[in-house]
Amino acid sequence: MSGIREVPEGLVAWERISAHSHIRGLGLEGLKAKFIGDGMVGQTEAREAAGIITRLIKEGKFAGRAILMAGPPGTGKTAIAVAIAKELGKDVPFVPIAASEVYSTEMKKTEFLTQALRKSIGVRIHEVRKIYEGVVKELSIQKEPHPYNPYMQVPIGAVMKLATKDESKKLTMDQSFAMQIVQQGIETGDIVQIDADGGRITKLGKSKQAIEEKKVDLTAIEVLDIPSGPVMKEKEFVYTLTLHQLDIMNSRSGGSIFSLLFGSGGREIDAEVRKEVDNAVREMVQSKKAEIIPGVAFIDECSMLDVESFAFLNRALEQDLCPIIIFATNRGITTIRGTDIKSPHGMPLDLLDRLLIINTRPYNADEIRKILEIRAKAEKIEIEDEALNLLTKIGVETSLRHAVQLMAPAKIIAENENSKIITKIHVERANFLFADIKRSVSYLHEYEKQFLV
């Protein structure tokens, strides 16, 4: 049960940086891609193609079709998929899955794919409720070791101080609220709405004061005035749930804390529950209390899907209510799983005929350097030019992902030496300690005779 209460009165802001948290859109001017824009770098042809598809989707001319991103590993396929979801608008769900996940669950393949597709369809609901609203002045996240992995920390609660122009309140929150804070990346200076009864917290934007303190001239985050009046008030509350979340809420089996940590735990949802949810959503839409938001389902490693899964998805594309499905692969001609037939990208030809295919290419040195600069800024890492040049060289010789991954260890090494700036020496040390794929394979190849018995 979600819980929140007021307490009588320096808390440290907690934040989370994901691999694509800096992506804000496709970075287009009209249909022309800027070399750097909205967190995207390079891949101009692929981004322009994605821009055309985004326009088709907005105009309702993409029904019955899907997208295939085809290119080598580390060339921005996921980033472009995220950017498409961002371009489609606020609250558009983005659900990334790996095709191999279909076989690693205890439920039927069609049930897993159905849940993934329903997670990708949002319902924006309008309600008048009593809420807490204000700017986050202080924020503290309490964490404890994961019950099954002591090296991983999970949120167990939070303390937040909310303020308006007229008053402030300090609130304690349980685990469900703490996890929402982490998932949305809420930090001090953000303006939020909290529905205590519904157990939801929504990030509205950033306060003007916070933007001015950071001395930012341009930002993609919505800048808002600090609300006035009491912290707790009655107003229209707008929030977005997915069809799958509504399925869970209406399922007799309910949920548990383990479902928050590990997903649905292999639980299948009865078709009658989904039918009831669909009818309820239809009634809310007709009464103008809700609106449907088709999102993006991103299926990586799509060549790992079998012929039955492809047939299910092919049929799903013909339904009235279907998200935008984006497949991604780095395979050329390969066997369709479950058959002896070789096909382009390991996909049936009848499904390939429905796809618009976008190719991505490897990044060059200039693009790698710009991406590293953006990642350093997103992760609040200060790095000198020589260190950035070395990381760029490493990215060209190995992979962009390896270069990006070295930034965090290099920061730890720098902090251990009481340095706020990453230098070339810190990057060299991190590169020495953490091998790239080529070095690792070469090392094992050198000693493979000793490993053979």
Question: pLDDT tens digits, residue range 284-297?
Answer: 888 888 888 888 99
Q: DSSP label at 216? A: -
pLDDT of residue 389: 92
Q: Which residues contact 113 (CB under 8 A, 6 or more apart)?
A: 102, 309, 312, 313, 316
Place of tokens 């320096």: 10
Place of tokens 């997670």: 119
- Beta-bridge mates of residue 121: 294
pLDDT of residue 21: 66
**Backbone phi and psi for residue 69, each to the nearest 5 degrees, phi listed first:** -95, 115
H or E element in which residue 163 lies:
strand 149-163
Rounded Cα distance, 190 and 228, in Å: 15
Please name each of the domains of the chain with its CATH number: 1-10+121-288 (2.40.50.360), 43-120+295-359 (3.40.50.300), 365-443 (1.10.8.60)
pLDDT of residue 13: 36
pLDDT of residue 219: 67
pLDDT of residue 2: 53
pLDDT of residue 358: 92
Rounded Cα distance, 158 and 187, in Å: 12
Rounded Cα distance, 379 and 27, in Å: 20
Place of tokens 């070469």: 442
Contact 97, 300 (CB under 8 A): yes
User: Cα–Cα distances in Å, from 228 out to 139, 232, 428?
Assistant: 20, 11, 52
Rounded Cα distance, 214 and 209, in Å: 9
Token duo for residue 354: 């429905």
pLDDT of residue 11: 35
Contact 374, 39 (CB under 8 A): yes
**Backbone phi and psi for residue 122, each to the nearest 5 degrees, phi listed first:** -95, 155
Rounded Cα distance, 110 and 254, in Å: 21
Low-confidence ranges of the chain (pLDDT < 50): 1, 8-17, 253-265
Rounded Cα distance, 268 and 290, in Å: 26
pLDDT of residue 426: 92
Per-residue b or e along 403-415, where b marks 16 or more CB atoms closer than 10 Å to that residue's CB: bbebbebbbebbe
pLDDT of residue 266: 54
| Cα angle for residues 73, 79, 85 (degrees, 5° grid) | 140
Phi-psi region of 72 (alpha: psi -120 to 50; beta: other; left: phi over 0): beta
Contact 375, 41 (CB under 8 A): no
Per-residue b or e along 2-32, where b marks 16 or more CB atoms closer than 10 Å to that residue's CB: bebeeeeeebeebbeeeebebbbbbbbeeee
Looking from the CA of 151 toward its CB, the CA atoms found within 13 Å total 0
